[in-house]
Structure 1
Amino acid sequence: MIDLPRLMGFLRTASVALLCGVAMPAMSAVDIEQWTLPSGARVNFVRADALPMVDVQVDFPAGSAYSPGRKAGLAGMVAGLLDAGTSRYDENALADRFADLGAQFGASAGTDRASVSLRVLSSETERTAAVALMAEVMRDPVFPVAILDRERGRAIIGLQEAETQPGYLVDRAFMAEIYGTHPYGASASEASLKSITQGDLVSFHRRYYASGVASISIVGDVDRAQADRIARVLTDGLPEGRPSVALPSPVMPDAKLLRIDNPSAQAHIAIGMPGLRRDDPDYYALLTGNYVLGGGGFVSRLMKEVREKRGFAYSVYSHFSPHRVAGPFRIGLQTRGRQTDEAIEVVRQTLADFIDQGPSEDELAAAKANIVNGFGLRLDSNAKLLGYVSVIGFFDLPLDWLTEYPKAVQALTVDDVRDAFKRRVLPQHLVTVVVGGSGDVADDGGRP
């Protein structure tokens, strides 16, 4: 059982540290140590000893992009059922054991990667036991058929509910339209979920949860030797694995407008195209320019033109989502059905003006100030820092990426931003998807 006095001492220390601001490794340069284990697993480690705890994350190239097309949803099901039981523990016993150790365990699958995480006290007894248990879960999941059936049923019910919501429908249609047959465009269906078997889970786990392709991130109150031991325990017994087949670059779509009927009064609108990969040379220019265009909330161009001047939408945004290959660039908003076409035209014109002219000097200065001055807040806890360290490790970014990020943003010029948008956001590839709006009727007698 967990040592309660030790835990209470940790909580008191954590509270004082947070109040005093001592647990902020981002206030100075982040020193990331990196090495490769004999298995091929890469380790990225940051020592942060202000709090007696350690955060660990293991990433595998096992996200939804690696699910076979007819088995969409498989990657998420594998991650979700990792802790459904091992040869030694059933689902409830595993949960109880992590709780006894005061440890938090989690697993999830995104687009490119599946992530398995652990947070535990750094004291040797709790840490050693929790890391061993995490390793067992990754190495020896049994994916019980009864739990698979239960979770599949929940997923199908959730999907059926989601398919009544225009927000979900526009998300699904937008990704399918901009990516076509590329893996990024696939989404789970009732048929694909029903087709997933226990054998599929086992095969996917053996193929992708392998030591040779693992990226291990460790942040906390341990030294390098202890971090190395953690990494070796976590990968011991995993399949050796081989490099995953590289994801293809998406084919750029032709510009089009797709309308999907839905009785909602609000039309849900998405406009965009494949945009940005994680190691893209235009990364800083596009993300900083996007703050001006639609990422800066009430100070953004889109918000001023669409909401403030015309009242077409309560909120409008633009966003780049960098992935291993070009992730989506998206502009999103909701507006009353009868003003859909006008709202779309304003968005398109605002985007065209921004591509042609770029930001003003004042807008760029404000964007830089927001990004650079707020950068430390992105790293003001071990958990946040772990998130960035895992990105650096999984996407093979330079170790000084966190240090260079604000410098690169600060060095940008208006010409840099304008040039990047002119080359990368192309009207001939912009897809517009509209879901709903037919429920909005005019005030004159109820006619549409």
Structure 2
Amino acid sequence: MTVVKRFGAGAVLLLAMAAPAWAALPIQHWVHASGAKVYLIESPVIPMLDVEIQVDGGSRRDPALQAGLASVTAGLLSGGVAASKGQPALDENQLSEAWLDLGAQFGAGASGDRFTVSLRTLTQPGLLQNAVALAARQMASPAWPESVWQRDRERMLAALKEAETRPGTIAGRAFAKAVYGDHPYGAETTSESLNAIGVADMQAFYRRHASACRAQVSLVGAVNREQADRVVGELMAAWTPNGCEALPSVPEVAPLPAAVDQRLPFDAAQAQVLIGQPGMRRDDPDHFPAFVGNYILGGGGFVSRLTTEVREKRGLSYSVYSYFSPGLHAGAFQIGLTTRPDQAAQALEVAQGVLREFVAQGPTEAELQAAKEYLVNSFALRIDSNRKLIANLSNIAWHGLPMDYLDTWTDKVKAVSVADIRRTFAKALQPERMVTVVVGGRP
């Protein structure tokens, strides 16, 4: 077990506001008997517990013809529980009422990389035990009701049809396809892929990926290590029977061989402009230079260079942004803006020029100093609630970050130099090989 400085999270926050050099998060880490990796932050200030369980079962694991399978599997976990061990079945409404009676919340979802189950409950005796027991039952014996899936699928199909009337949807789909190609990150949920998914497919997907031996369990709240271990044991008992089937490898995102330029007519008041390419993996050693540099380029809102050039100086767009979306594979780097269709060409030219200059020269020393001051001074706001703490802890668990990651976060930001940013952006981005998508203007 690794224990990093034992303090309550509430007390730590007070120290954070008083002195930036404090010990940020008291993270305890061990491997549970089930094989699950456990990460705990004791936060006794509020009698509440947040639990987040992650496994490698995100949309990158969807079969090629069943895009959306991970997401709909997570959604149907709330469709009810089957009768088991002398307990009666609960339909969708009865299950919802059971959670309301406990004053607790249970949810599941899927991102590109992760399949996640979450629990939030009060820690008073009785409430905690009952909430954990209900969560374990829901994880072990989902009912997989066909009628609920048929209803939900119809809603999703209607939502997809409506989304196709929005230029933002058209732009996002074209951009993802151009950036990722055949990689699962670029897979699109369609009416065909939804109609190809049945309840049996969800059951098989869930059994294959929801395994205790590959789970990472993060806990933040008013429990100690012994209590946390018992909670993990009860929850992981639900997944232990699923075994630990080896998962196939997923290929890396391929670099763009050449620039891609798509101009898609669409009769709308605003044109959607997206620029980007495959960016960086989360485990890239230059994560911090990329993070700080992007804050200066387009992630800092009104103080970013893109906003200054595109909005403030020329009035071409109300909002313009940039970001990296690193994951287990190289997630996209993206610049996005909306503008009048007759201004799209000019706005695009200005944004591309700002990017080229930034990649070539990096930020100024003044820009870098201002970014560091903001990021360091606002760091306490990143961990000022249990929800933010659990998000940070899950991120540490998922990406295998050091236990002192948040202890040293501000120091790593401070250490970034102009040369670091220039080197990182030159390595990660090639402005001459970008995907450009413009959706807007009459045919």
Equivalent in the alignment of 2:427: 423
Out of 244, 247, 254, the position equivalent to 2:247 is 244
User: Relative to structure 1, is the Cα distance of residues 397 and 22 closer, same or farther in structure 2, using a 3 angstrom cutoff?
Assistant: closer
Q: How do 1:246-265 and structure 2 match up within 5 A? A: 246-253=249-256, 254-265=258-269
**Cα shift readout 1:251-303 (whole Å, capped 9, x = no counterpart):** 01221111222111311011001112222111100110011111111111111
Equivalent in the alignment of 2:316: 312
- Post-superposition offset of 1:437: 2.4
Q: Is the 8 A contact 1:320 1:329 kept in 2?
A: yes
- Post-superposition offset of 1:23: 8.6
In 1: Cα distance, 2:346 partner to 2:376 partner: 36
Equivalent in the alignment of 1:9: none
In 2: Cα distance, 1:350 partner to 1:416 partner: 19
State the percentage of identical aligned residues: 45
User: Relative to structure 1, is the Cα distance of residues 82 and 342 closer, same or farther in structure 2, using a 3 angstrom cutoff?
Assistant: same
| Letter in structure 1 aligned against 2:98 | R
Equivalent in the alignment of 2:175: 174
In 2: Cα distance, 1:237 partner to 1:386 partner: 22
Q: Is the 8 A contact 1:25 1:381 kept in 2?
A: no
Q: Is the 8 A contact 1:267 1:436 kept in 2?
A: yes
Out of 81, 86, 91, the position equivalent to 2:81 is 86
Q: How do 1:326-405 and structure 2 match up within 5 A? A: 326-405=330-409
Q: Secondary structure at the match of 2:406?
A: helix
User: Relative to structure 1, is the Cα distance of residues 70 and 377 closer, same or farther in structure 2, using a 3 angstrom cutoff?
Assistant: same
**Cα shift readout 1:27-63 (whole Å, capped 9, x = no counterpart):** 3420111111233211111100001111111111111
In 1: Cα distance, 2:113 partner to 2:290 partner: 21
Q: Secondary structure at the match of 1:235?
A: helix
Equivalent in the alignment of 1:136: 137
In 2: Cα distance, 1:129 partner to 1:26 partner: 35
Equivalent in the alignment of 2:24: 29
- Post-superposition offset of 1:429: 2.9
In 2: Cα distance, 1:311 partner to 1:100 partner: 52
In 1: Cα distance, 2:252 partner to 2:375 partner: 29
Q: Secondary structure at the match of 2:65?
A: helix
Q: Is the 8 A contact 2:178 2:260 kept in 1?
A: no
Q: Is the 8 A contact 2:71 2:110 kept in 1?
A: yes
CA RMSD of aligned residues (A): 1.6
- Post-superposition offset of 1:85: 1.0
Out of 40, 64, 70, the position equivalent to 1:45 is 40
Equivalent in the alignment of 2:227: 226
**Cα shift readout 1:305-352 (whole Å, capped 9, x = no counterpart):** 111111111110101112111111100001111222221111111111
In 1: Cα distance, 2:14 partner to 2:187 partner: 39
In 2: Cα distance, 1:416 partner to 1:369 partner: 17
- Post-superposition offset of 1:26: 8.1
Q: Secondary structure at the match of 2:228?
A: helix
**Cα shift readout 1:213-257 (whole Å, capped 9, x = no counterpart):** 111010000010000111111110311223433332100122111
Equivalent in the alignment of 1:125: 126
Equivalent in the alignment of 2:19: none
Equivalent in the alignment of 1:71: 66
Q: How do 1:176-325 and structure 2 match up within 5 A? A: 176-238=177-239, 239-253=242-256, 254-325=258-329
In 2: Cα distance, 1:262 partner to 1:383 partner: 40
1:161 paired with 2:162, answer yes
Count of aligned pairs between the two proteins: 420
User: Relative to structure 1, is the Cα distance of residues 379 and 25 closer, same or farther in structure 2, using a 3 angstrom cutoff?
Assistant: farther
- Post-superposition offset of 1:175: 0.9
User: Relative to structure 1, is the Cα distance of residues 59 and 78 closer, same or farther in structure 2, using a 3 angstrom cutoff?
Assistant: same
Q: Is the 8 A contact 1:266 1:334 kept in 2?
A: yes
TM-score (structure 1 length as normaliser): 0.91
In 1: Cα distance, 2:330 partner to 2:411 partner: 24
Query: Where in structure 2 are there 5+ consecutive unaligned residues?
Result: 1-8, 17-22, 83-88
User: Relative to structure 1, is the Cα distance of residues 243 and 371 closer, same or farther in structure 2, using a 3 angstrom cutoff?
Assistant: farther
Q: Which deviates further from its counterpart, 252-261 or 286-295?
A: 252-261
In 2: Cα distance, 1:23 partner to 1:84 partner: 40
- Post-superposition offset of 1:112: 0.7
Q: Is the 8 A contact 1:23 1:381 kept in 2?
A: no
In 2: Cα distance, 1:40 partner to 1:322 partner: 27
TM-score (structure 2 length as normaliser): 0.92
User: Relative to structure 1, is the Cα distance of residues 49 and 112 closer, same or farther in structure 2, using a 3 angstrom cutoff?
Assistant: same
- Post-superposition offset of 1:428: 3.7
Query: Where in structure 1 are there 5+ consecutive unaligned residues?
Result: 1-17, 440-448
In 1: Cα distance, 2:62 partner to 2:15 partner: 36
In 2: Cα distance, 1:157 partner to 1:172 partner: 17
| Letter in structure 1 aligned against 2:439 | V
| Letter in structure 1 aligned against 2:324 | F
User: Relative to structure 1, is the Cα distance of residues 109 and 228 closer, same or farther in structure 2, using a 3 angstrom cutoff?
Assistant: same
In 2: Cα distance, 1:331 partner to 1:248 partner: 25
Q: Secondary structure at the match of 1:334?
A: strand
